[in-house]
Amino acid sequence: MRVRPKENKIFNPRMECMSRDELRELQSKRLRETVKLEYENVPLYRGRMDARGVKPEDIKTVDDLRFLPFIEKTDLRDEFPFGLLAAPKSEIIRIHGSSGTSGKPIVSGYTQNDVDVWTEVVARALTAAGGGKDDIIQVAYGYGLFTGGLGAHQGATKIGAMVLPMSSGNTQRQILMMKELGVTMLCCTPSYATFLGESIREMGISPEELNLKSGCFGAEPWSEEMRVNLEELLGIDACDIYGLTEICGPGVAFECLEKQGMHVNEDNFIIEIIDPVTEEPLPYGQSGELVFTTITKTGMPMLRYRTRDICRLNDAPCECGRTHVRMDRITGRTDDMLVISGVNVFPSQIESVLVGLDGVSPHYMLIVDRVKSKDKLEVQVELTEEMFSDTVAEIEKLRDDIKEKIKSVVGINTKVHLVPPKSIPRSEGKAKRITDNRKI
Ligand code: ADP
Ligand code: ZN
């Protein structure tokens, strides 16, 4: 764990620490404006609201949100590329797109206002992770249609930091620049940060020789154990940051240095948790699907966007003084869920088993297959260098241990395959951890 004193800096205290009553007022006002904008400009919304008999005037407060129809990724595909714009095309100054890890591409259009909103929320995230104008921030998220690179870049510029726009890849050069320039903060996916950390060790550089103090890591699920490992590897405070292209990109929610969940930027995004099957809203504390409504965007606002991300909300006050609710780590996606012989399996469950064990690294791969109509799950796990040189008996014991632990957590039998260190391909962006070979 870090011994560095905890800095508590807040970028926009007026918005981030507003009373819940005042926030509700503001959300309701902004929601009314967004609903009107959508109804008047986007045929899909108008059609769906008319079909439900809902008029913009019916939506008065945040409580009326539940009367609105949902929107989801398939709608963005069907309306690709400009069908959901609420602003004239001439007002759109930027396009971003999803990395397409889950299917056909989707794009989102941003007005100047939308880029400004997004920039501000990332500035808040970087500030919460201890960032300011004296920092040197290395952005190792990919630049391009993917929102990670430019998103972090804009936020870092906004707080007046010195930005190093490395983009992803070219690990040796990343490390060289990090060391020579005295980079203080790193922004990339947690899996790439771990890989950078491991590579730094291999090059014989110790974290003390670097000037790194913290980082904002997101764009893919990770675990508390991965955080501990990353913090040790790089000698930093590692904060989580969440976002998605449809809503703006990274910065929708972010962790403060309390590291007890991510504050949702509720003055810009209303968050709901629903039961993915009944579609009914769930109370705080219950696990369900995240749904976001943007209330300050003008290019392609989203009303009740179903993210497919599974998570829990926490409205307990935070030590940092921010009043915005926090979301826990994403524990899975309704569509990433593997159904193996009828059992729902989330990769995060397997990960939680692996990261708690000595002798294995946080790199793994799940391979699903169907043999003679029976589903098989193989879990490939990388051994650490120390374990790799251990006796066969010990390695076998570790394998049995993993198999048993997975069985007790997930409830299914798996084949555990222990592989040599560094043999699972590393990703420079989002890690790919599932290969499903079943032809169903
Ligand atoms: P896609 O990956 O579908 O192409 P995006 O690049 O917009 O699209 O990624 C958004 C998704 O990435 C989110 O819906 C979520 O599943 C995942 N994600 C982003 N940040 C985090 C995070 N901090 N923790 C877990 N998952 C995250
Ligand atoms: Zn906080």
Give dist(CA 84, CA 356) in Å, integer: 44
What is the domain range of residue 215? 13-28+59-334
H-only helix segments in 182-273: 190-202, 224-234
Q: What is the largest CA-CA distance in the chain?
A: 72
The residues near 214 (Cβ < 8 Å, ≥ 6 apart) are 129, 130, 131, 184, 185, 186, 236, 237, 238, 239, 257
Do 254 and 136 reside in the same domain of the chain?
Answer: yes
Pocket of ligand 1 (CB under 6 A): 98-102, 218-221, 240-245, 307, 309, 330, 333
Q: By the 8 A CB rule, do 192 and 363 touch?
A: no
Q: By the 8 A CB rule, do 70 and 291 touch?
A: yes
The verdict on residue 69 lying in a domain is yes
* Ligand 1 atom closest to the CA of 330, numbered from 1: 25
Tokens 């950078």, residue located: 196
Q: How far is the CA of 256 from the centre of ligand 2 (A)?
A: 5
The verdict on residue 6 lying in a domain is no
Tokens 């309701």, residue located: 28
**Pick from 334, 369, 396: which residue ends a domain?**
334
Predicted pLDDT of residue 107: 96
- Tell which one of 147, 226, 230, 244 to mutate to probe ligand 1, the residue whose CB is within 8 A of the most ligand atoms: 244
Q: By the 8 A CB rule, do 227 and 259 touch?
A: yes
* Ligand 1 atom closest to the CA of 262, numbered from 1: 23
Q: How far is the CA of 132 from the centre of ligand 2 (A)?
A: 17
Do 256 and 387 reside in the same domain of the chain?
Answer: no
pLDDT along the chain (440 residues), means of 10: 75 98 98 98 98 98 97 93 97 86 76 98 98 98 95 98 96 97 96 93 94 95 89 97 97 98 98 94 94 98 96 96 96 79 79 86 89 88 90 92 91 92 87 81
Could you tell me the CATH number of the domain that includes residue 74? 3.40.50.12780
* Ligand 1 atom closest to the CA of 430, numbered from 1: 2
Do 106 and 236 reside in the same domain of the chain?
Answer: yes
Do 199 and 286 reside in the same domain of the chain?
Answer: yes
The verdict on residue 1 lying in a domain is no
The verdict on residue 415 lying in a domain is yes
Do 237 and 379 reside in the same domain of the chain?
Answer: no
Of the listed ligands, the closest to the CA of 333 is 1
Predicted pLDDT of residue 194: 92
- Tell which one of 110, 216, 224, 330 to mutate to probe ligand 1, the residue whose CB is within 8 A of the most ligand atoms: 330
Could you tell me the CATH number of the domain that includes residue 423? 3.30.300.30
The verdict on residue 181 lying in a domain is yes
Residue having the nearest C-alpha atom to atom 13 of ligand 1: 244
> Among 6, 31, 7, 27, which residue's Cα sits nearest to residue 15?
27
Do 295 and 201 reside in the same domain of the chain?
Answer: yes
* Ligand 1 atom closest to the CA of 253, numbered from 1: 23
- The helix/strand/coil state of 315 is coil
Residues with CB under 5 A from ligand 2 (ion): 256, 258, 318, 320, 322
Predicted pLDDT of residue 362: 79
The total number of structural domains in the chain stands at: 2
Do 285 and 374 reside in the same domain of the chain?
Answer: no
Do 353 and 315 reside in the same domain of the chain?
Answer: no
- Tell which one of 220, 247, 346 to mutate to probe ligand 1, the residue whose CB is within 8 A of the most ligand atoms: 220
Predicted pLDDT of residue 353: 87
Give dist(CA 415, CA 404) in Å, integer: 11
Alpha-carbon separation of residue 157 from 59, 153, 163, 411 (angstroms): 37, 6, 7, 48
